[in-house]
Amino acid sequence: MTGTSMGLTERDRARLWHPYAPASPNLPLWEVEAADGVRLRLRGEDGARHEVLDAMSSWWSVIHGYRNPVLDAAARRQLGSFSHVMFGGLTHAPAVELAERLAGMAPSAPGRPGLERVFLADSGSVAVEVALKLAVQFQTASGRPSRQRFLSIRGGYHGDTFAAMGVCDPVDGMHSAFPGLLAANVFAPRPPAAASATPESVKAWASELGDIAAAHSGELAAIIVEPVLQGAGGMHAYPAACLTALREAADRHGLLLIFDEIATGFGRTGELFAADHAGVVPDIMCVGKALTGGYLTLAAMLCTADVASTVSGGQAGALLHGPTFMGNPLACAVANASLGILDDGGWRADVARIGAALVSGLSPALKLRAVRDVRTIGAVGVIELHDAVDVTAVTAAAIRHGVWVRPFRNLVYTMPPYISSASDVQQVTTGMVAAVTEVHERVSARSGGPA
């Protein structure tokens, strides 16, 4: 059978891969028939339709909602001009404007060089690859060619390409699948959890970090971390004071400091960038995900003028990267429109309002025996279970309550679009708590549950 005689999900199963999935996974697949504002219209494989709130912002990206009129207009305007041109030897207004906007909004602090130079990449993982390359090229150009490895913290996630995988958590990441191919990097412990950290525990962590950096400094090019919130590695929030310790360790040992703000950037944690919680400025920063408001794939790597000029003056004479779709004009035009919406400043009140609603709306989950922890940071809310989530059952239960979630490991979490209304957020939290209760509470009640 081909084409229209088969259902869409059947045709999908015959041909496509999905994220971290086997071919033809025996798991439910939902067809998106429409998306508008914060809502998706899904069609199940039984033909039933469900209108759901997107509690995931399509993996952190759709911060201004689907079919946003400002972003739609920006895309249409650029389509009427040109959609793509190569970036070698050519330039265009959308890319230049985007670089100026990003440099203008990037973390800054008195007496610290700002992030002035922008490399446009086509996805978050690629931006991380470019950041890591840049750091190694910087050390080589500075006369320290033995510095080829990276220091990261456990529990991190930085993408799926090889160098990025190599700085992901060495246990939960994908290291064991590619033992011969991933660089041997250096890992410090995960910083203490924000909710329970004390000045002493932060100090103890900082001192261990300093010891590790000192022991390996001769072989390390840079430190790379997700500032303040580790996302796909476990939704772990940690104190902003740890960023100051990371900055100090990097400075003391001649390492560059790379902040991967691909998930945390553009307001999600309550500051424009997570680095701003501590007033720390990295040498290199990566952004992606929400950059185009979830319309097109685009990411960026920013660095200081000093790093840029050192690498450019090195033997290679250039930063050794250049994707075909670098600086795609359509994506840049939509990114400019998305950053324009952020410029208006309403995001700050929205994130605070959504965050407060997540705190109160998710707190009933703390009473559930299946639940180990409930935590929020900015407009991110997390229910952590004792055991692995039954993803299929929780997803289906949440859909029955009108909410789209995509749990992983033992986590059911949400980061709603900034345009979510009070009643939207309430529906999200009610749906999440109900889904966890329906699927996991009965099981843990029957088995006596964890102590």
User: How near is the Cβ of 423 to ligand PLP at its closest, in Å?
Assistant: 29
By rule CB under 6 A, what count of residues binds ligand PLP?
15
Q: Would you call 66 a catalytic residue per the annotation? A: no
Interface with ligand PLP, residue 263, by CB under 6 A: yes
Q: Which stretch binds ligand PLP (CB under 6 A): 5-13, 182-190, 226-234, 353-361?
A: 226-234
User: How near is the Cβ of 198 to ligand PLP at its closest, in Å?
Assistant: 27
Q: Which of 289, 295, 413, 418 is catalytic?
A: 289
Q: Would you call 289 a catalytic residue per the annotation? A: yes
- Are residues 36 and 410 in contact, defined by beta-carbon separation less than 8 angstroms? no
Interface with ligand PLP, residue 294, by CB under 6 A: no
Q: Would you call 20 a catalytic residue per the annotation? A: yes
Q: Which of 157, 238, 413, 418 is catalytic?
A: 157
User: How near is the Cβ of 150 to ligand PLP at its closest, in Å?
Assistant: 14
* Near ligand PLP in 40-99, by CB under 6 A: none
User: How near is the Cβ of 421 to ligand PLP at its closest, in Å?
Assistant: 26
User: How near is the Cβ of 179 to ligand PLP at its closest, in Å?
Assistant: 22
Interface with ligand PLP, residue 125, by CB under 6 A: yes
Interface with ligand PLP, residue 124, by CB under 6 A: yes
CA distance 436 to 451: 18
Q: What are phi and psi of 150, to 5 degrees?
A: -130, 150
- Interacting residue with ligand PLP among 94, 231, 416, 431 (CB under 6 A): 231
Nearer to ligand PLP, 75 or 132 (CB): 132
Interface with ligand PLP, residue 159, by CB under 6 A: yes
Residue number of the CB closest to ligand PLP reads 124
- Interacting residue with ligand PLP among 147, 158, 268, 440 (CB under 6 A): 158
- Whole-angstrom CA distances from 440 to 163, 266, 401, 430 are 37, 34, 16, 15
Interface with ligand PLP, residue 157, by CB under 6 A: yes
CA distance 177 to 354: 39
Nearer to ligand PLP, 232 or 333 (CB): 232
Q: Which stretch binds ligand PLP (CB under 6 A): 63-71, 77-85, 118-126, 440-448?
A: 118-126
User: How near is the Cβ of 226 to ligand PLP at its closest, in Å?
Assistant: 5
User: How near is the Cβ of 121 to ligand PLP at its closest, in Å?
Assistant: 9
Q: Which stretch binds ligand PLP (CB under 6 A): 33-41, 123-131, 137-145, 347-355?
A: 123-131
Beta bridge partners of 222: 150, 256
User: How near is the Cβ of 301 to ligand PLP at its closest, in Å?
Assistant: 11
CA distance 118 to 165: 23
* Near ligand PLP in 394-433, by CB under 6 A: none
Nearer to ligand PLP, 169 or 441 (CB): 169
Interface with ligand PLP, residue 128, by CB under 6 A: yes
- Interacting residue with ligand PLP among 225, 232, 278, 303 (CB under 6 A): 232
Interface with ligand PLP, residue 288, by CB under 6 A: yes
Q: Would you call 367 a catalytic residue per the annotation? A: no
CA distance 233 to 360: 25
Q: Which stretch binds ligand PLP (CB under 6 A): 5-13, 40-48, 88-96, 156-164?
A: 156-164
Nearer to ligand PLP, 236 or 375 (CB): 236
User: How near is the Cβ of 115 to ligand PLP at its closest, in Å?
Assistant: 17
Q: Which of 54, 169, 260, 424 is catalytic?
A: 260
- Are residues 43 and 31 in contact, defined by beta-carbon separation less than 8 angstroms? yes
HEC profile for the chain? CCHHHCCHHHHHHHHCCCCCCCCCCCCCCCEEEEEEECEEEEECCCCCEEEEEECCHHHHCCCCCECCHHHHHHHHHHHCCCCCCCCCCCCCHHHHHHHHHHHHHCCCCCCCCCEEEEEEECCHHHHHHHHHHHHHHHHHHCCCCCCCEEEEECCCCCCCCHHHHHHCCCCCCCHHHCCCCCCCCEEECCCCCCCCCCHHHHHHHHHHHHHHHHHHHHHEEEEEECCCEECCCCCEECCCHHHHHHHHHHHHCCCEEEEECCCCCCCCCCCCCHHHHCCCCCCEEEECHHHHCCCCCCEEEEEEHHHHHHHHCCCCCCCCCCCCCCCCHHHHHHHHHHHHHHHCCHHHHHHHHHHHHHHHHHHHHHHCCCEEEEEEECCEEEEEECCCCCHHHHHHHHHHCCEECCCECCEEEECCCCCCCHHHHHHHHHHHHHHHHHHHHHHHHHCCCCC
The catalytic residue positions are 20, 157, 260, 289
Residues that bind ligand PLP (CB under 6 A): 123-125, 128, 157-159, 226, 231-232, 260, 262-263, 288-289
